[in-house]
Amino acid sequence: MSTAMKQPARQDGPIGVFDSGVGGLSVWRALRARLPKEDFLYVADSLNCPYGSRSAQEIAALSRGIAEYLLGRGAKLIVVACNTASAAALADLRQTFAVPFVGMVPAVKPAAGLTKTGVVGVLATPMTFEGRLYHEVVEQYAEGVRVISSTCDGLVERIEAGDLGGPETLSLLRTCLRPILEAGADTLVLGCTHYPFVAEAIQRLVGPAVRILEPSAAVAEQAARVLNREGLCRPGTAEGTTRFATSGSPRQFAAALEAMLGLQAPVSHLVWSQGRLLDDPSP
Ligand code: DGL
């Protein structure tokens, strides 16, 4: 077992959060609002983004490397703020490491309960749709409901590039929404953590009658439950802080933080070396 796997969970450690890029910030935002006293360490593996078209093995190896990095810095709980990594790697992470993990599952259950037309649309990546998690929630909670799944190839890259409503993004959205609208869906699930950042553009395209659901608040609530259940809440009343790190361009990530969340913060650079994620040693 690696030393990271033996890392004891500590109340004063940060909550680790990771995604293939900026998408997981939609979950971090909800976590921060729900758990303001907690410290966070957010890792964006933007160098390897998008994950959605990678193999489950590749995603599992990247997720293990990121989890080891987070545990090596004292993470007491890890939120996999990525539907694709949750689909491909969550079970493996839980078997490999001793800390609790909270993952993402497309919000099919609430959508099935809300729809009036009996038709629900789900936007996600190919790997999310291929994963067991997705098929389990559809089988378990969508009986009698027609679920139209649609991938938006190229949309994650547009959001990573900061295009949240330009012509190329709108064209991609029109294409992936078309089968869902043609089927008469009145409820739409955002099954990728990047997509809440284009929710306004999506709402304009689908119209006010279609209800858009994304699970970040529910994930934050689940993380709070796990912290309480495991006795891992950070002691004291001091406001928590967040450290951001990316394997891509720190400047591009910092620009995304400001554009998407109105937040100015330093971003450190991470480098992959033989399957391990390290703090960039160069000045
Ligand atoms: N934001 C991630 C998700 O929720 C991954 C998207 C990607 O890298 O393809 O699936």
Between vectors from CA 264 to CA 82 and to CA 28, what angle results, nearest 5°? 25
Residue nearest to atom 9 of ligand 1 (CA): 52
- Cα of 109 vs centre of ligand 1, distance in Å, is 20
- Encode pLDDT of 239-251 as tens digits: 999 999 999 999 9
Residue 70 near residue 16 (C-beta atoms within 8 A): yes
Atom of ligand 1 nearest to the CA of 87: 10
Class of the domain covering 3-104+217-279:
alpha beta
- Cα of 69 vs centre of ligand 1, distance in Å, is 20
Residue 245 near residue 43 (C-beta atoms within 8 A): yes
List helix spans (H) across 73-130.
83-96, 108-114, 126-130
Domain 108-214 has CATH 3.40.50.1860: yes
Most ligand 1 atoms within 8 A of CB, residue of 134, 156, 159, 198 to mutate:
156
- Cα of 251 vs centre of ligand 1, distance in Å, is 21
- Encode pLDDT of 8-57 as tens digits: 458 999 999 999 999 999 999 999 999 999 999 999 999 999 999 999 99
As given in the structure block, the two tokens for residue 126 are 């190919």
Atom of ligand 1 nearest to the CA of 124: 10
What burial class does residue 236 get, using C-beta atoms within 10 Å of its C-beta: 0-12 exposed, 13-18 middle, 19+ buried? exposed
- Cα of 85 vs centre of ligand 1, distance in Å, is 7
> Which residues are annotated as catalytic?
82, 192
Residues 6+ apart with CB under 8 A from 141: 108, 109, 112
pLDDT, one tens digit for every residue, the chain (283 residues): 444 444 445 899 999 999 999 999 999 999 999 999 999 999 999 999 999 999 999 999 999 999 999 999 999 999 999 999 999 999 999 999 999 999 999 999 999 999 999 999 999 999 999 999 999 999 999 999 999 999 999 999 999 999 999 999 999 999 999 999 999 999 999 999 999 999 999 999 999 999 999 999 999 999 999 999 999 999 988 999 999 999 999 999 999 999 999 999 999 999 999 999 999 988 7
In the chain, CATH 3.40.50.1860 sits at: 3-104+217-279, 108-214
| Dihedral sign from CA coordinates of 84, 68, 241, 270 | negative
Q: Measuring from each residue's beta carbon to the nearest atom of ligand 1, which residues come in under 6 Å? A: 19-20, 23, 49-52, 82-84, 125, 128, 156, 192-194
Atom of ligand 1 nearest to the CA of 23: 1
- Cα of 170 vs centre of ligand 1, distance in Å, is 18
Atom of ligand 1 nearest to the CA of 82: 4
